[in-house]
Amino acid sequence: MNEPVQVNEQTQVTIPEGGPDPSADWRPGGEGSVFRAEGLVRAFKKRRVVDKVDLEVRQGEIVGLLGPNGAGKTTTFYMMVGLIKADEGRVFINDDEVTKWPMFRRARAGVGYLPQEASVFQKLTVEQNVMAILETLPYSREERRERCQKLLRSLSISHLASHRAYSLSGGERRRLEICRALVTRPKFLLLDEPFTGVDPIAIDDIQRIVKGLRDRGLGVLITDHNVRETLTITDRTYLLYDGHILVEGDSEEITRDPWARKVYLGSDFRL
């Protein structure tokens, strides 16, 4: 085994303008699909933390799910992913109801998920991390290696292929996680706090990557406490408050809304 290579936290990588390399083979299967929830309800200790929430994400758009602590956004997000069960309501991929499907089955149907916590194999190299996912798919060894190289190029991490995952900076780790998520060619990608734990320059890189995913046909749902960074790239955003959708709209509509400013953004908020 090679000795671990230490990577400086400030090491920066130039991401192609507009996101990932368009030559890479990671377009999502199908097009025009919709991932949606109708009337989601979840209660804890008799308190409804999510109360009749409707939302949808279409392929080719970035949707934000924002709100103050305790608003119900994380619970809503987890019901969409399949991490927790809804007490009421339904979740659909197009016309197929997936409410009772476990997380792995939703993944097979095209729903990718990136958790906030590190989801890479820390002691494996970057290349081995991607190959570990490819090994679960019915490809020949040559096809796996070819797809791995294309995916590494698409996220501009080919130069890190032999580096151990634990040596990566926060931004580099996020790129690796996104790279792994693209292996199965999802139609939708749900990002839980993608801007947490990375430096400002890396946030710019991740924003470009996410916009590139949208431009190549993925539907992206983001929940994050970094409001400005999220609203900068979303096409639409749902703002939750006390378990309900308080307001929905594009970034300008959200930031102008008086209730959004009163309960969440603050009167001086500017993009």
| Predicted pLDDT of residue 117 | 81
Domain count, the chain: 2
* 201 and 147, same domain (yes or no): no
* 103 and 222, same domain (yes or no): yes
Final residue belonging to a domain, choices 184, 216, 234:
184
Q: How far is 138 from 149, CA to CA, in rounded Å?
A: 17
Final residue belonging to a domain, choices 184, 205, 221:
184
Tell me which residue range forms the domain holding 178.
120-184
* 167 and 259, same domain (yes or no): no
In a domain, 11, yes or no: no
* 203 and 175, same domain (yes or no): no
* 100 and 192, same domain (yes or no): yes
Final residue belonging to a domain, choices 134, 157, 184:
184
Question: pLDDT 10s per residue in the chain (271 long)?
Answer: 443 333 333 333 333 444 444 444 555 655 689 999 999 999 999 899 999 999 999 999 999 999 999 999 999 999 999 999 999 999 999 999 999 999 999 999 999 999 888 889 999 999 999 999 999 888 999 999 999 999 999 999 999 999 999 999 988 999 999 999 999 899 999 999 999 878 888 899 899 999 999 999 999 999 999 999 999 999 999 999 999 999 999 999 999 999 999 999 999 998 8
* 232 and 177, same domain (yes or no): no
Looking at the DSSP assignment, which residues form a beta bridge with residue 38?
A: 90
In our burial notation (b when 16+ CB lie closer than 10 A, e otherwise), range 72-100 reads bbbbbbbbbbbebebeebebebeeeebbe
* 40 and 100, same domain (yes or no): yes
| Predicted pLDDT of residue 26 | 53
Q: How far is 40 from 75, CA to CA, in rounded Å?
A: 10
* 88 and 209, same domain (yes or no): yes
* 80, amino acid identity: M
CATH number for the domain spanning 192: value is 3.40.50.300
Q: How far apart are the two ends of the chain, measured CA to CA in Å?
A: 48
In a domain, 13, yes or no: no
* 180 and 194, same domain (yes or no): no
* 101 and 167, same domain (yes or no): no
* 97 and 141, same domain (yes or no): no
Q: Say how many C-beta atoms besides its own lie within 10 A of residue 140's C-beta.
A: 8
Q: How far is 141 from 145, CA to CA, in rounded Å?
A: 6
Looking at the DSSP assignment, which residues form a beta bridge with residue 113?
A: 190
Claim: this prediction has a pTM higher than 0.75: yes
In our burial notation (b when 16+ CB lie closer than 10 A, e otherwise), range 12-46 reads ebebbeebbbeebebebeeeebebebbebbbeeee
In a domain, 7, yes or no: no
